[in-house]
Amino acid sequence: MRSAAATVVAALVAASLGAQGQIFRANVDLIRVYPLVVGPDGRIATGLEEQDFEVLDNGKPAEIAAFSTDRQPITALVMLDMSASMEDRWLRVRTAAGRFVDAIEPVDRLRIGTFGSEVAISPHLTSDKTLLTRVLREELWPGGSTPLWTAMNAAMHSLALVPGRKTIVTVTDGVDTATNSSSTIYNVVADRAVKEQFMLYAIGFEGKGLGDRLLTLIGRTGGGHFDLKRSDDMATAFLRFADELRHQYLVGFTPADLDGRTHSLEIRVKRPGFTVRAPQQFMAPLRKGRTP
């Protein structure tokens, strides 16, 4: 049995954007968010332009200073629940995660982790499908309870130094059943999700499903979730996440008040019938010499 401590090795990856569909104006205090837009037909909306968007920072309009319609590379950590209650789903989860691996492109980076009797996170953040498949085949550690918030905190620590958009995809059959002082660790995770701009996704299962706390965080970060029935295809959920992540816009703005505090955020599309899924909060930079 490996140590119960998480194996977390942070990696720096460079993300670059192509020249088409981009507008960038230099600003060291820029906040970058990645909204997903759904059109009146219920499909992901692509092809919108900067002037279609409106940003509200603490309820006040903010000028858009960066914009891109380019396909966004994926940087994600997939956390798989290997607790004892998932025993009849382990192979199904591994197979579905393998489909996600198959779908990544050379510009994407994935890391894989598990949680149950221990929390274990692969050190590899990579687009190497052979390596990722080997991790899924040989490095899943089943058994135990469900230390969900400990696992989420370890996942965030693992990606802490990675620049750009950071996504955590969690597959679980329920709420935290193992973490000591889980409310305290949940608060740490909730705080980090906003401060470090993590985007959270999750797949839950028929039965207990995803807990209210996790669903709240998913909504707050602009992520998404699926609650699956036993007959549902889990791989479809993974592929839907990949599709969403590839078709988010990049919208950047500078907060009006650089106060080092948490601000409310709303991203709107001015066209009727369009809806936007985006982070609901962000941490404003602190102006040099100012006390938060």
- pLDDT in the model for residue 292: 62
Give the start-to-end residue ranges of the domains of the chain.
28-70+253-283, 75-246
How far does the chain reach from its first CA to its final CA, in angstroms?
A: 45
Four-residue CA torsion sign, 19, 25, 31, 34 = negative
CATH architecture of 75-246: 3-Layer(aba) Sandwich (3.40)
CB of 50 within 8 A of CB of 65? Answer: no
- pLDDT in the model for residue 24: 47
Lowest mean pLDDT among 84-88, 154-158, 190-194, 198-202: 84-88
Helices 234-246 and 90-103 sit at what angle, rounded to 10 degrees? 30
DSSP assignment letter at 89: G
Closest by CA to 75, choosing from 9, 4, 12, is: 12
SS (H, E, C) 145-173: CCCHHHHHHHHHHHHCCCCCCEEEEEECC
CB of 36 within 8 A of CB of 223? Answer: no
* Secondary structure E strands in 194-255: 198-205, 224-228, 250-253
Burial of 67 (0-12, 13-18, 19+ CB in 10 A): buried
Q: Report strand pairing: 75-81 vs 119-121.
A: unpaired
pLDDT tens digits, one per residue of 80-103: 999 988 888 888 899 999 999 999
Beta bridge partners of 58: none
The CA distance from 167 to 9, in Å, is: 16
pLDDT band at 161 (very low <50, low <70, confident <90, very high): very high
Q: Which residues neighbour 34 within 8 Å (Cβ) at sequence distance 6 or greater?
A: 72, 165, 199, 222, 248, 249, 250, 251, 278
Does 11 score more than 50 pLDDT?
Answer: no
The CA distance from 9 to 213, in Å, is: 27
The CA distance from 147 to 219, in Å, is: 21
pLDDT tens digits, one per residue of 138-152: 988 788 889 999 999
**Which tokens in the block code for residue 270?**
């001015």
| High-pLDDT (> 90) share of the chain, % | 68
Does 265 score more than 60 pLDDT?
Answer: yes
Give the helix/strand (H/E) hosting 76: strand 75-81
